[in-house]
Amino acid sequence: MTPTQLDSENPGSALAISGLSKVFNAGNPNEVTALSDVHLAVHTGEFISLIGPSGCGKSTLLRVIGDLTGFDSGSVQVSGKSPEDARKERLYGIAFQQAALFDWRTVTRNIELPLELAGWQKSQRQERSAELLDMVQLSEFAHHRPWELSGGMQQRVAIARSLAVDPPLLLMDEPFGALDEMTRERMQNELLKIRVETGKTIVFVTHSIPEAVYLSDRVVVMSPRPGRITAEIDVDLGSRDEMTRESDHFFRCVTSVREALRAHDTSNSTSSSHRGEI
Amino acid sequence: MNTKLGHVWPPILVATIFLGGWQLLVVVQDLKPFLLPAPSLIASEFSSGAAMMWGAAYYTATTAFLGLIFGTVLGLITALMAQRFITVDKLVAPLAAGLATVPIIALTPILNNMFNITSRTPRVLVTAIIVLFPIFVNVTRGLIQVHATQLELMRSLNATPRTTLRVLRIPNAIPFFFTGLKIAAPLSVIAALVAEYFGGPQQGLGSRIASAAANTAYGRAWAYVLAAIITGLIFYLAIIALERLVTPRTAQVSTTH
């Protein structure tokens, strides 16, 4: 599999995580090991997906990278910096399952929010937001309010907002999780297009195996109790098109991710083969 | 157009039936005005004393307006301060309930002694204190009821608490502020009116109702009550108009439930 050794010295390293552990409610009876000894290296321009059942720590891992939550031990380097410095230097953009748009702002002003906080001049902001609106094909909705948009369109606004300051890293926490299947596939294609246009490094959290396979260069499989990485599967589908989802290669990749997920499902429950994990 | 009319006629119908029934009851049962004056009597008193009604309503409305402004400013300031310490909505509810049990209007005689009873000041203060609470409770709620994801977004953007307050919490609290104002505005008229029952200048609605009743002019007393209702309604409608002006339509709908 891919090397998971520390290579923060490498200038091509977007993300280097080693021996990362995080415990919730330490010392209490309800102590949970959210992440245990996580090693992960992501190269600049790489698209990786974190996949696993609920409670496997995939969202927590994303939040540690974004410095939205702390960690207990190990080391995390985002573009060679601590997560806190990376956040303060606005080295990443983030999109969540909820678009989290501000209802009182127009679409344009939502996209300009990160630029405002970064102290951009008004004319620069307008130029940049127009560019981003064009990228997510929402130019005609520039002055609409978020609630006037469909779920998929709102999510596109959120993605445009995450790209606003042009950060090298994009963190995405199930951004298409609340969308219907057709919208979801269209959004996946758009995301891949944006990725090609911008060359961002992307860490993408998802529940969906086909989504992870379709989008990623590498699928990182995680398992709960304790939250940890149990497998990393390289996906070499090349450039995606309409036929990709129906190709044998795609199905083989889906199968290997599914098996990797299942392997740890059964290993936890000793001999019985189908004990449902909660 | 049809649906608009559909909204208008039920209240008119109810009001007509109610007033008609009231009139009928008074006439058929031959009720004395001190028990219940007929709507026709109240209406004639109201129109014959229109100038007096207007003057009294103007005096009380001025007290209410000053109290409303003063109380709203105080409510906003306290909410902004409280927001830094109250981080969970659960803490707001008991606080609101506790404040609601304080008999503020009972403070009037005390304030009358503290301040010049011949001035408007004690009444404005009582009104302000009454207005303060609904504004405080609602605005505090609006400032802290922010989506967790939106807070995470602000953190990811390296926003300071002050920036988060300006960019996220305050805009989020605006519909809550109007909810508070819609409670506070009619309340300010009631407070200003009731405060007049405790002595002081006699030209307001409250004083007029009390003196009309004392002089057994029940029809006139009720006419002043009608003037008070109209005044409260004007305050309420003014807030609705202000809200329409300030917040876009759909934002109101999403926060009224």
What are φ and ψ of residue B129, in 5° steps? -65, -40
pTM, rounded to two decimals: 0.83
B95 plus B205 within the same structural domain = yes
B10 plus B79 within the same structural domain = no
Are the C-beta atoms of residues A72 and A237 closer than 8 Å to each other?
A: no
What whole-number distance in Å separates Cα of residue A126 and Cα of residue A112?
A: 8
> If pLDDT is split at 50, 70 and 90, which confidence band does B110 have?
confident
**Interface contact A104, partner B, CB < 8 A:** yes
Contact pairs from chain A to chain B, CB under 8 Å: 57
B126 plus B12 within the same structural domain = no
User: Is B168 in Cβ contact with A104 (below 8 Å)?
Assistant: no
B4 plus B98 within the same structural domain = no
Residue A105 confidence (pLDDT): 94
How many structural domains compose chain B? Answer: 2
B25 plus B143 within the same structural domain = no
For residue A90, the chain B residues in CB contact (below 8 A) are: 157-158
* Nearest residue on chain A to B168, alpha-carbon basis: A102
B126 plus B4 within the same structural domain = no
The amino acid at B79: A
Pick the residue of B146, B149, B152, B157 with the most A CBs within 10 A to test the interface with A by mutation: B157
What whole-number distance in Å separates Cα of residue B4 and Cα of residue B26?
A: 34
Residue A52 confidence (pLDDT): 92
Residue A59 confidence (pLDDT): 93
- pLDDT higher than threshold 50 for residue A1: no
User: Is B147 in Cβ contact with A117 (below 8 Å)?
Assistant: no
Residue A263, classed as helix, strand or coil, is helix
B4 plus B68 within the same structural domain = no
B50 plus B11 within the same structural domain = no
User: Is A88 in Cβ contact with B250 (below 8 Å)?
Assistant: no
Q: ipTM of the assembly?
A: 0.87
State the residue range of the domain holding B18.
1-30
B83 plus B56 within the same structural domain = yes
B224 plus B189 within the same structural domain = yes
What are φ and ψ of residue A21, in 5° steps? -135, 145
What are φ and ψ of residue A17, in 5° steps? -125, 130
Average pLDDT over every residue of B144-148? 91
Smallest Cα distance from B24 to chain A, Å: 51
**Interface contact A102, partner B, CB < 8 A:** yes
- pLDDT higher than threshold 60 for residue A186: yes
Residue A232, classed as helix, strand or coil, is strand
CATH number, domain at B187?
1.10.3720.10
- pLDDT higher than threshold 70 for residue B254: no
Q: Which helix (H) or strand (E) segment is A74 a member of?
A: strand A73-78
**Considering the domain A1-91+171-180+202-269 in this protein, what is its CATH number?**
3.40.50.300
Average pLDDT over every residue of B133-145? 92
Are the C-beta atoms of residues A203 and A45 closer than 8 Å to each other?
A: no
* Per-residue pLDDT reduced to its tens digit, A221-264: 999 888 899 999 998 887 887 788 888 888 898 999 999 988 87
Angle at A138 between CA A102 and CA A142, to 5 degrees: 55
Which range, of A16-20, A272-276, B158-162, B238-242, averages the lowest pLDDT? A272-276
What whole-number distance in Å separates Cα of residue B237 and Cα of residue B241?
A: 6
Q: Which helix (H) or strand (E) segment is A171 a member of?
A: strand A169-173
Question: Under 8 Å CB-to-CB from B148, ≥6 apart: which residues?
Answer: none
B5 plus B102 within the same structural domain = no
B64 plus B190 within the same structural domain = yes
